[in-house]
Amino acid sequence: MRTLDKKLLRDFKRLWPQALAISLVLACGVATLILSIGTYRSLDETRRAYYERHQFASIFATASRAPQSLMREIGLISGVAGAQGRIVEPVLLDITGMIEPASGLVVSLPDHDTLRLNKLYLRSGRLPTPGKSGEAVVSDRFSKAHGFRVGSTFAGILQGRQVKFQITGVAMSPEFIYALGPGDLVPDYRRFGVIWMRQQQVAGLTKLDGAFNSVSLTLLPGTSQPAVIAALDRLLAPYGGTAAYGRKDQMSNAFLDSELKQLQAMAGVIPPIFMFVSAFLINMIMSRLVALEREQIGLLKALGYSQLAVSAHYVKLVLVISLTGVVIGFAAGTWLGDGLTRLYSEFFNFPFFIFQRSLDVYLLAAGIGIAAALLGGLKSALSAASLPPATAMRPAAPTLYRKSSAFGQWLASTMSQLTVMAFRHLVRWPLRSGFTMLGTSLAVALLVTAMFSFGSINFMIDTVYFRTDRQDATISFSTPLAPTAVHAVKKLPGVLSVEPYRVMMVQMSHGSHSRRVAITGKPQNMRLSRLLDIELAPISLPSSGLVLSERLAMHLGAQRGDVISMKLLEEGWHEVKVPVVDIIRSYFGLGAYMDIAALDRLSRIGPRRSGVYVELDANRHKEIYAAIKAMPKAASIALQTQSLKKFRETIEQNITIMTTVYIVLAVIIAFGVVYNSARIQLSERARELASLRVLGFTRNEVSRVLIIELAIILLVAQPVGWILGYGFSWAVVRGFQSDLFRIPFVVQNSAYGWSSIVVIIASVLSAFIVISRVRQLDIIRVLKTKE
Amino acid sequence: MSIRQNKKVAVFTVEDLTKTYHTGEVDVYALRGVSTKLYQGELSVVLGPSGSGKSTFMNIIGGLDTATSGRVMFKDLDLSGASETELTNFRRRHVGFVFQFYNLIPSLTARENVALVTEISTNPMRPEDALALVGLEKRMNHFPAQMSGGEQQRVAIARAIAKNPEVLLCDEPTGSLDSKTGRLVLEALTRINDELGTTTAIISHNAVIHKLAHRTLYFADGEIVREQVSDKRLTPSQLEW
């Protein structure tokens, strides 16, 4: 080994705690980059492969009842590669061991043909035998949640008919990677399942013989999706077609899209923070090292080492530090990636998972990490190389402090000299002090970003479950019923009050904007399921006109007073014009609302009710659930308490994991920044501090100089961190915004408080490690050496 | 003057002092049984070649270091068995130090460097007065980097004497200075010794300096080989450098 390299290794050994602190920060950058890009690719690739292998459709449409013969015409639409008609119908389930009813979706399979689109992945058992009554394949998670096996049975009510399902197999489908039950915000596989039965069976139960009510299409490459959708809409319009849509609006796919979007956002925000902090830290310790080794550099050059050799020596040290970080980052990124992937496989239903541990992700992460480190260290390495040997071998000129302003002098006169020392040192190196402060504040900001979600989610829960949807259950009817059906529900045992609703699928257009949405009719003075205005105050519906959620209003470019043209899709696309009378706040979907009586007036088929919101007697759940299970016209039931419980469980689990990861990341940043900054301070000021000891200052008094400076940095970092954290959180909320859901932007004071507490504790501990070194100051040696 | 002449009071009593450093596998004997006394109000000069033990001696009597064996008494206070806290207190109350490399705090002005000490002393002089004693009353608001070496050393002296210490210990105070500046520094030191009666010890390589001293200790190989008391002293301006 060459002598200079031996020096390098010894330097690294001597500097190891500082080097390790930096390597860890860099490792976080590398790990989060691998995590986000790696997981993004894994998830994206898994979905792509699953969709491709199982022929996931590109276009979906529903109708009320379309004849099978129409399928031929659909198949002839230009650009259509494959088309499959089927029957999809909600079903209320009565499962042994469950007091409350569960919900299901019955999906038909062709009787003799094989599925061409949305093919099933059969995990176990077999497909139902055509003609065999009640045979069904059920979704994997639903089956697991109930401990079903092949041969298990359960009951259900489909269109008012009692059905006994017998399980022949367990399957997964690319249509239900993320499967939400009615009224749920997160999947609850105990209360929602998908049931596949042969066409003939389903047709018999739903009276849709020779007909279908759902169609899926795949397209030939290069086909225009809007053109096919338009053609499909034209064909289905006479049969209650409710406007076709693409994958973008398919529920399961849209949730995956939103997850992928978040991973992408993560890749763009978190790794750069760590790379930036690493670059700064490397810059800080390399500058100090070059300052300390000034005379050695002079000597090396006097001995004949070239500028290149000297700068290469310091660049190598940067490389050793960054490679250590890269190696740790690789390990941590792989480990975290596995963890996140496991979390995804719990959340999403994939039959397989493709790990995208491709070399290029690792190379990219390593490349960015090393580049950031080199960027940080390059200036010092170059400045070392450019020092003329004669200058280098002379001690550096003493640090020049300049007279401060009159105000500064007055301020200094009010403080102890130890405090003045701390302040002047801070101000003398504004860039370094600023970056140290910024580094620390980034740790605070990361934590605020992790912790604000507690407040936002709680706010959302409060708004959704306690101020908007205050009903205990929502029962939807299998077909729209006459208003008298509502009275029947009211008479059920344990039902305290009911509120009807009517849902109509419409195509809304305003100017060039157009959206397919469900419009909900509600009574003017809602008591159970309410609407809140932009300020979240409950409103009552005006007797006519439309109330739009702000997201929908934005998509339509509509404001209060604008007239919206609506095609009532289930009524032969009959067109009406309605003015927008109010715009409201809503965190889910693209809501549109009207007074139920006004909606009835628009409809050509007269008053109909899609379901009811009900208030239940908490002591009579058993009776009411039994009654609902026996209700012939109930298609599904959403239970608020269960849904909230599941939502809390899921969100808490996710947030706890996320917060833990963020705390670790923030502690690493805080430690890296504060520890290195304190070490450098100690190194630079050893002489001053030793002088103070000689003058009779105690160790505690001497430590105070360091503590004051760190405390000022730490204090200023808090509000800056809060502001940055507020900004990051806002960006996260913006990133989360989709047509499916929006997170309210609420940062509670406790998020700021806890973030600061964690960072302050981490900083105080790391500063303490350094300050304990003040005890080891060799007074005599320091004073006897030239600066 | 009267104290010095009539009744000699020992400020430091050193008995059989040894100091051994362990460097690697070799033991270095820096002091090998030094015994002496420094008297109140006297200006002593400690001479000797490099490595003769003079700085080690000064560090031990100044409470910066501890002896391996032997005894150091500062008046009635036994420094040989003192704890770290006791030594810190001793330095804080009784000793002023001046070093070859000034050791000023670069971020504090001359006045503030002196105030650093007066703030923690029980009976200090005003920083302005201390600086006036060394002739720097007009440079009070300058930072170290804005001053010459001699000026910086005089600030260090002002800082050392501002707390009215009983002893002033100077380790090579002129070591980094040219003769003209060195003379200015020595003038400041003798003036303080004369006017304030501060017991002063100056370590030097420069044998000429002993002509300023009441007492000269010659060190060689960790021992005091000669001790000389002189009645006839020169002023710094009379020294031939």
pLDDT, tens digit (0-9, with 9 covering 90-100), for B138-173: 999 998 889 988 899 899 999 998 988 999 999 989
Q: Over 60: is that where the pLDDT of A573 sits?
A: yes
Strand pairing report for A135-139 and A531-533: unpaired
- For residue A584 the two structure tokens come to 């409201």
Candidate from B64, B115, B117 with C-beta closest to A780:
B64
pLDDT at residue A101 greater than cutoff 50: yes
Chain B positions in Cβ-Cβ contact with residue A779 (cut-off 8 Å): 64
pLDDT higher than 80, residue A389: no
Q: Where are the beta strands (DSSP E) in B40-101?
A: 43-47, 69-74, 77-78, 95-98
SS3 label, residue B22: strand
Neighbours of B61 (CB within 10 A): 26
Gap between the Cα atoms of B143 and B112, Å rounded: 9
Please indicate whether, in this complex, the C-beta atoms of B106 and A398 are within 8 angstroms of each other. Answer: yes
Q: CA A43: distance to chain centroid?
A: 14
Instruction: Tell me phi and psi for residue A64, to 5 degrees.
Output: -85, -45
Look at A207-211, A214-218, A341-345 and tell me which has the smallest mean pLDDT: A341-345
- Chain B residue numbers with beta carbons less than 8 Å from the beta carbon of A397 are 145
Q: Are A107 and A195 in contact (CB under 8 A)?
A: yes
Residue A67: band (very low, low, confident or very high) from pLDDT cuts 50, 70, 90: very high
- State the CATH number of the domain containing residue B166: 3.40.50.300
pLDDT of amino acid A397 = 67
Q: Does B95 touch chain A (CB under 8 A)?
A: yes
The model's confidence at residue A184, banded by pLDDT at 50, 70 and 90, is confident
The pLDDT tens digits for B2-39 are 444 456 899 999 999 999 988 777 888 999 999 999 99
Sheet containing strand A211-219, strands side by side: A80-86, A211-219, A59-67, A245-246
Q: What is the pLDDT of residue A62?
A: 92
Is B239 domain-assigned? no
* Per-residue pLDDT at A631 exceeds 90: no
**Subunit contact B99:A697, Cβ cutoff 8 A:** no
DSSP-derived 3-state class of residue A553: helix
In whole numbers, what is the pLDDT of chain A averaged over residues? 89
In a domain, B238, yes or no: no
Å between B106 CA and nearest CA of chain A: 6
Interface test with A, best of B89, B101, B172 (most A CBs within 10 A): B101
User: What confidence tens digit (pLDDT) does each residue in A422-460 have?
Assistant: 888 888 888 889 999 999 999 999 999 888 888 888 898
Q: How far apart are CA A116 and CA A530, in angstroms?
A: 43
Q: Cβ of B145 and A779 within 8 Å?
A: no
State residue B5's pLDDT score. Answer: 47
- For residue B154, give its domain range: 2-232
The minimal CB distance from A697 to the residues B108, B113, B120 is found for: B120
pLDDT per residue as tens digits for the range A484-517: 999 999 999 889 999 999 999 999 999 999 988 9
Nearest Cα neighbor of A23 from A11, A33, A12, A34 is A12
% of chain A at pLDDT higher than 70: 97
Instruction: With a cut of 90, say whether residue A318 has pLDDT above it.
Output: yes
- Residue B7 within a domain: yes
- Rounded Cα–Cα distance for residues B45 and B201 (Å): 6
**Which of A400, A690, A779 is opposite residue B145, by nearest beta carbon?**
A400
Q: Residues A16-26: what's their mean pLDDT?
A: 91
Residue B237 lies in a domain: no
> Once rounded to an integer, what is the mean pLDDT over residues A310-335?
92
- Residue A786, pLDDT > 60, answer no
What is the distance between the alpha carbons of residues B136 and A112, in angstroms, rounded to a whole number? 108
B201-220 residues touching A, CB cutoff 8 A: none
Q: Which residue in this structure is represented by tokens 């045992």?
A: A493
- Split into its structural domains, chain B has a count of 1
pLDDT at residue A627 in the model: 87
The answer to whether the complex's ipTM is over 0.90 is: no
pLDDT in tens, A223-247: 999 999 999 999 998 898 888 999 9
The answer to whether residue A564 scores a pLDDT higher than 90 is yes
> B185-225: per-residue pLDDT in tens?
899 899 889 998 999 999 998 889 999 999 999 999 999 99
Rounded to an integer, the average pLDDT of A36-56 is 92
**Structure token digits, residue A173:** 């489908």
Q: Quote the radius of gyration of chain A (alpha carbons, Å).
A: 34
| Among A197-201, A378-382, A637-641, A676-680, the range of highest mean pLDDT | A197-201
Proportion of chain B in helix, strand, coil states, percent, rounded to 5:
35, 30, 35
pLDDT at B73: 96
State in Å, rounded, how far the first CA of chain A is from the last one.
Answer: 32
Structure confidence at residue A57 (pLDDT): 96
From the list A397, A401, A696, the residue facing B92 with the nearest CB is: A696
Residues of A in contact with B65 (CB under 8 A): 780
Q: Is residue B198 part of a domain?
A: yes
pLDDT mean over A705-720: 93
In angstroms, the separation between the Cα of residue A407 and the nearest Cα of chain B is 15
Mean pLDDT is lowest, of A287-301, A584-598, B89-103, for A287-301
Least CA distance to B163: which residue of chain A? A695
Residue of A nearest to B96 (CA): A695
Mean local confidence (pLDDT), B47-54: 91
Residue B227 lies in a domain: yes
pLDDT score for A738: 80
Mean pLDDT of A367-383: 91
Band (pLDDT 50/70/90 cuts) for residue A80 is very high
Tens digit of each residue's pLDDT (9 = 90 or more) over A147-161: 999 999 999 988 878
The answer to whether residue A770 scores a pLDDT higher than 90 is no
First to last CA, chain B: 27
Q: Is residue B36 part of a domain?
A: yes
- What pLDDT does residue B3 have? 44
Closest by Cα among A155, A142, A153 to A92: A155
- Confidence at residue A428, expressed as pLDDT on a 0 to 100 scale: 85
3-state secondary structure string across A474-513:
EEEEEEEECCHHHHHHHCCCCEEEEEEEEEEEEEEEECCE
Q: Is B104 on the interface with A (CB under 8 A)?
A: yes
Test B145 with A401 for CB contact under 8 angstroms: yes
pLDDT at B74 exceeding the cut of 50: yes
Residue B88 belongs to a domain = yes
Q: Say whether A701 and B59 touch across the interface (CB within 8 A).
A: no
Instruction: Tell me the mean pLDDT in the region A125-148.
Output: 94
pLDDT of A287-301, one tens digit each?
888 888 887 787 777
List the single residue in A403, A695, A784 with the smallest CB-CB distance to B117.
A695
Confidence of residue A785 (pLDDT cuts 50, 70, 90): low
Residues of A in contact with B143 (CB under 8 A): 400-403
Task: Report the chain A residue with the minimal C-alpha distance to residue B159.
Answer: A695
pLDDT given at position B176: 81
Q: Model confidence at A656, in pLDDT bands (50, 70, 90)?
A: confident
> Mutation test of the interface with chain A: which of B50, B102, B103, choosing the one with the most A Cβ atoms within 10 A?
B103
Interface of A with B (CB under 8 A): 397-403, 412, 416-418, 420-421, 424-425, 428, 687-688, 690-699, 701, 779-780, 783-787
Q: What integer pLDDT is reported at residue B2 of this predicted model?
A: 41
| Chain A interface disruption, residue of B107, B123, B161, most A CBs within 10 A | B107
**Could you tell me if A607 and A424 are in contact, meaning their C-beta atoms sit under 8 angstroms apart?**
no
**CB contacts, 8 Å: B91 with chain A:** 694-696
From A501, A579, A590, A584, select the one nearest A537 (Cα to Cα): A584
- Select from A425, A783, A786 the Cβ nearest to the Cβ of B107: A425
User: What average pLDDT does range A53-58 have in this prediction?
Assistant: 96
Contacts of B104 in chain A (CB under 8 A): 691
Q: Is the pLDDT of residue A541 over 80?
A: yes
- Give the mean pLDDT of chain B: 89
Interface test with B, best of A694, A705, A712, A778 (most B CBs within 10 A): A694
How does DSSP classify residue A466?
A: I
* Residue-level pLDDT at A496: 94
Ranges of H-type helices in A245-306: 251-292, 294-302
Quote the CA–CA distance of A275 and A271 in Å, as a whole number. 6
